[in-house]
């Protein structure tokens, strides 16, 4: 009978201790100051996710012909928050004179969304071996992002 009482005593002490540790903490009645809620701000992260050459179909309907002065650029918001209007810059050769093009994307992108942009170099062969171009998303830093180091795509 003694081991049973010892076991019962151990279980009751464990139950009381468990109740003490599980009981919710009470706020002091002396303070009426409300506790502000924690606010988490999710930020966007714009990135150039894909770059593709532009092709058009030949007049006879067979084959595809490269448009060497145009490029498709896919911009993706890989962050957790939406982004509003953002600016993009497309630069080819060395960016002198008329070798620049600016875009302002007014619709914005939600988290995980992407859009394709057609950039035109106006006769400059983007795909020649020694030619280069650069595309910068959020170039004016108009939006706060989680990572600014992935905003630029350079083609050597």
| Span 107-152, pLDDT tens digits | 899 999 999 999 999 899 999 988 999 999 999 888 999 999 999 9
Whether residue 11 has pLDDT greater than 70: no
Say which residue, 110 or 35, is predicted with more confidence.
110
How far from 90 is each of 21, 46, 82, CA to CA, in Å?
A: 61, 15, 23
Neighbours of 110 (CB within 10 A): 13
The highest-level CATH class for domain 46-155 is mainly beta
Q: How big is the chain, counted in residues? A: 156
Q: How sure is the predictor about 83, in pLDDT bands with cuts at 50, 70 and 90?
A: very high
Q: Give the end-to-end CA distance of the chain in Å, rounded to a whole number.
A: 87
pTM, full prediction: 0.71
Whether residue 13 has pLDDT greater than 70: no
- Report DSSP state, residue 130: T
Percent of the chain with pLDDT strictly greater than 90: 49
Quick one: which of 117, 88, 119, 112 has its CA closest to 102? 88
∠ CA(10), CA(20), CA(3), 5° rounding? Answer: 5
Ranges assigned E (strand) in 14-151: 46-57, 64-77, 86-92, 100-105, 114-120, 133-137
């Amino acid at each position: 009978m003694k081991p049973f009482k010892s076991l019962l005593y151990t279980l009751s002490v464990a139950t009381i201790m468990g109740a003490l540790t599980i009981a919710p903490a009470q706020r002091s009645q002396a303070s009426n100051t409300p506790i502000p809620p924690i606010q988490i701000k999710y930020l966007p992260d714009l990135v150039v996710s894909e770059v593709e050459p532009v092709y058009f179909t030949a007049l006879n309907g067979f084959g595809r012909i490269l448009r060497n002065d145009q490029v498709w650029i896919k911009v993706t918001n890989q962050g957790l928050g939406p982004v509003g209007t953002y600016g993009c810059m497309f630069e080819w050769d060395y960016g002198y004179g008329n070798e620049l093009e600016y875009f302002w994307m007014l619709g914005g992108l939600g988290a995980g969304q992407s859009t394709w942009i057609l950039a035109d170099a106006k006769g400059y062969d983007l795909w020649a071996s020694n030619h280069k171009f650069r595309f910068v998303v959020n170039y004016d830093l108009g939006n706060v992002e989680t990572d600014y180091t992935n905003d630029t795509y350079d083609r050597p």
